[in-house]
Amino acid sequence: MNKGKIFKLAKGFRGRAKNCIRIARERVEKALQYSYRDRRTKKRDMRSLWIQRINAGTRIHGVNYGNFMHGLMKENIQLNRKVLSELSMHEPHSFKSLVDISRSAFPGNKNVVPAPQKKGLQILV
């Protein structure tokens, strides 16, 4: 890259990184590496956020995320995670109907019973 392009990309950097060509070149190269890496990381982070939101919405109705998604797959409901997370946040009644459909499709969703609490230590004789 030529000087003009480097300095244009280095605009807004602190210290000599904005006006000294050698330092600016190093900082711009590193910044481009970070931006390349983080464009991919952002996709992972957003998918993780959507899954957390869906899981929170389904647990309110007594179903966990994995069983909910499996039930939707069995019913051939092809909504992506982004849309499902938006529904869970902004359209709770619509999301509850999806949870009910998923629950009826997958038998693992029907009897949701919390795990029994252990009281004290049990000694096996």
Residues in contact with 60: Cβ distance below 8 Å, sequence separation at least 6, in sequence order:
none
Nearest to 6 by CA among 20, 23, 31, 24: 24
| Claim: this prediction has a pTM higher than 0.95 | no
Looking up residue 53, the CATH number of its domain turns out to be 1.10.1900.20
CA atoms within 13 A of residue 5's CA, in its CB half-sphere: 4
Per-residue pLDDT reduced to its tens digit, 17-30: 999 999 999 999 99
Q: The domain containing residue 28 runs over which residues?
A: 3-40
Per-residue pLDDT reduced to its tens digit, 29-44: 999 999 999 999 999 9
Check whether residue 50 and residue 32 sit in a common domain: no
Would you say residue 110 lies in a domain?
no
Check whether residue 29 and residue 60 sit in a common domain: no
Check whether residue 16 and residue 36 sit in a common domain: yes
Would you say residue 23 lies in a domain?
yes
Would you say residue 18 lies in a domain?
yes
